[in-house]
Every structure is written in structure tokens, then in C-alpha cells.
């Protein structure tokens, strides 16, 4: 028998063995009623933009503990999330950056629980080149380019509250639709300063400095979480919301700079 024929038969045999191995694996991936893929439930969460980084870590931790559930997120300003809920956007749970927004959705959600708190800081360019020391430096007469969130956004409402309380008038160069928009303007050098949550400033330590606002001048943000009544996965959504108040999730939130509920 020629070497060419032997080699050809060996290749054919190898190919057959490959098919024999791959087909069962493909069938297992396609799965039946007992496959892990079929048992996996995706829980869709509408969440405040300031939770973007920390919730990515929380989702990974939750999936390791609950491999049959995958949690995905849609991040935006709380006012935008509320508009989606009022339009019965297909989702399972909601986490906002204030209780006012959540309270306005009575009838659309289950009973909310506060999972974390946050506080405001002044974000400046790295090294604080404009030497911002406090809220008074944001006043219009100081001629700084200041960016704030729009008044309809929770962080914008908190910012207005603290500025009004100090009698400080600010003329912002822009009003953003969420806190990440404010942070981005400062990072890109399009603003000298902006008011953001402390946790957002912590996500860009090499790009911005955080100027602390004294407790007696500050405002505390509360983050309520609730299952949406339109959820097709209410059981799984309830479990995730409950988990957010538990020890593991609370440690993740603390490590990211959020305060205890």
C-alpha cells in the first residue's frame, strides 16, 4: 500500500474521530430541558449612572453565587430611567440615585429598599490647577468654567440644594443629563470644575481631583432598589434586590466608596 493512500486513510480516520467528538459537544451546547443554558435567567436592571462601575463588579459576584442568573444593566440618569418605567420598558428591577424619583413610580414597583448612600464632591482637573477650595469658588464671579447636572437629575438637584443653601450663584457652561456627563466634561478639560458624587470621582483618580465639601454644606444621596411589576422574572429580580442589601454586595459598595444605607 502506498504511503499516500495510508496517509489519506489516517486523515480520514482523524476527521471521523473529530466529528465523533465534536457532535456530542455541540449537542450538549444546544442542550435540552436539563442544560444549564436553558436554566439561565437574565435579570435586566435599570440603574443610575453613578452605579456603572460598582454594579459591573456586583453582577460578576452575583453570577458566581447564582450561576443560573445573569444580571445585565441599562445605565442612565434616574429621570431617564423613570421615563422608561412609565413607558413599561421591559426590565426587571430599578435602582435610582434618589428616593424622590422612586417614590414617583408608586404602582410600578415593589417596595423599595435603600441599598447605599453617597455624598457630593467638587471634581477638578488633576492637580486642581485652578486651586478650588470649596463651593464658594464655583460662584459666577470667580470666572471658572463650571459644569453641573441638569436640575431634573438627582445629582443636579442635590447640587442646586447645596449651592442655594450657601447663597452661591453659579452659571454653568453646560447642564448634563447624568453625573457621568459632568465627570467627563472635567476629565476632558471642557470645564474647570463640576459637582459629582464622591464615588464617581474615585473612578478617575488619575484624571480628576476631588475637593471635599464639608458635612454641614453637603447633601446625602440615597439609592433605593425595587423590583418592577412588569418583570417577567419577579422571583429572580426580588432575589437580586434582596442580595444588594446583604453582606457581600454591601462590601462591594463600601469598597467603591458608597456609604451604608
Per-residue pLDDT tens over the stretch 110-164: 999 999 999 999 999 999 999 999 999 999 999 999 999 999 999 999 999 999 9
What is the distance between the alpha carbons of residues 152 and 78, in angstroms, rounded to a whole number? 9
Instruction: Please give the pLDDT value at position 39.
Output: 79
The mean per-residue pLDDT over the stretch 34-61 comes to 87
pTM for the whole thing?
A: 0.83
Instruction: Please give the pLDDT value at position 31.
Output: 32
Residue 9 has pLDDT above 80, yes or no: no
Domains in the chain with CATH codes: 36-117+223-255 (3.40.190.10), 118-220 (3.40.190.10)
Neighbour tally for 118: CB within 10 Å: 29
Q: Residue 169: is it exposed, middle or buried by C-beta count within 10 angstroms (0-12/13-18/19+)? A: exposed
The mean per-residue pLDDT over the stretch 196-215 comes to 97
Instruction: Please give the pLDDT value at position 38.
Output: 56
Average pLDDT, the chain: 88
Q: For residue 207, give the nearest of 235, 233, 182, 187 by alpha carbon.
A: 187
Q: Tell me the C-alpha to C-alpha distance, in Å, between residue 101 and each of 29, 94, 146, 229.
A: 43, 11, 25, 16
Name, in order, each residue with C-beta under 8 angstroms of 103's C-beta and a sequence gap of 6 or more. Answer: none
Question: Residue 116 region, left (φ>0) first, then alpha (ψ -120 to 50), else beta?
Answer: beta
Amino acid at each position: 500500500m502506498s504511503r499516500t493512500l495510508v496517509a489519506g486513510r489516517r486523515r480520514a480516520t482523524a476527521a471521523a474521530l473529530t466529528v465523533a467528538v465534536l457532535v456530542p459537544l455541540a449537542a450538549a451546547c444546544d442542550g435540552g430541558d436539563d442544560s444549564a443554558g436553558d436554566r439561565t435567567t437574565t435579570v435586566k436592571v435599570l440603574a443610575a449612572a453613578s452605579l456603572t462601575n460598582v454594579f459591573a463588579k456586583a453582577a460578576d459576584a452575583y453570577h458566581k453565587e447564582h450561576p443560573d442568573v445573569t444580571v445585565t444593566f441599562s445605565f442612565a440618569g434616574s429621570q431617564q430611567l423613570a421615563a422608561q418605567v412609565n413607558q413599561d420598558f421591559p426590565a426587571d428591577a430599578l435602582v435610582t440615585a434618589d428616593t424622590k424619583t422612586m417614590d414617583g413610580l408608586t404602582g410600578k414597583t415593589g417596595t423599595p429598599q435603600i441599598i447605599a448612600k453617597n455624598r457630593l464632591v467638587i471634581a477638578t482637573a488633576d492637580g486642581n490647577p485652578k486651586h478650588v477650595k470649596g463651593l464658594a469658588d464655583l460662584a459666577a464671579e470667580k470666572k471658572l468654567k463650571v459644569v453641573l447636572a441638569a436640575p431634573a437629575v438627582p445629582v443636579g438637584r442635590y447640587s442646586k440644594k447645596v449651592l442655594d443653601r450657601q447663597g452661591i450663584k453659579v452659571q454653568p457652561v453646560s447642564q448634563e443629563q447624568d453625573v457621568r456627563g459632568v465627570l467627563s466634561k472635567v476629565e476632558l478639560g471642557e470645564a474647570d470644575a463640576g459637582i459629582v458624587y464622591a464615588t464617581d470621582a474615585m473612578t478617575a483618580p488619575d484624571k480628576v481631583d476631588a475637593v471635599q465639601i464639608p458635612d454641614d454644606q453637603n447633601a446625602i444621596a440615597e439609592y433605593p432598589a425595587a423590583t418592577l411589576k412588569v418583570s417577567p422574572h419577579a422571583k429572580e429580580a426580588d432575589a437580586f434586590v434582596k442580595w444588594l442589601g446583604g453582606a457581600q454586595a454591601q462590601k462591594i459598595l463600601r469598597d467603591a466608596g458608597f456609604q451604608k444605607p
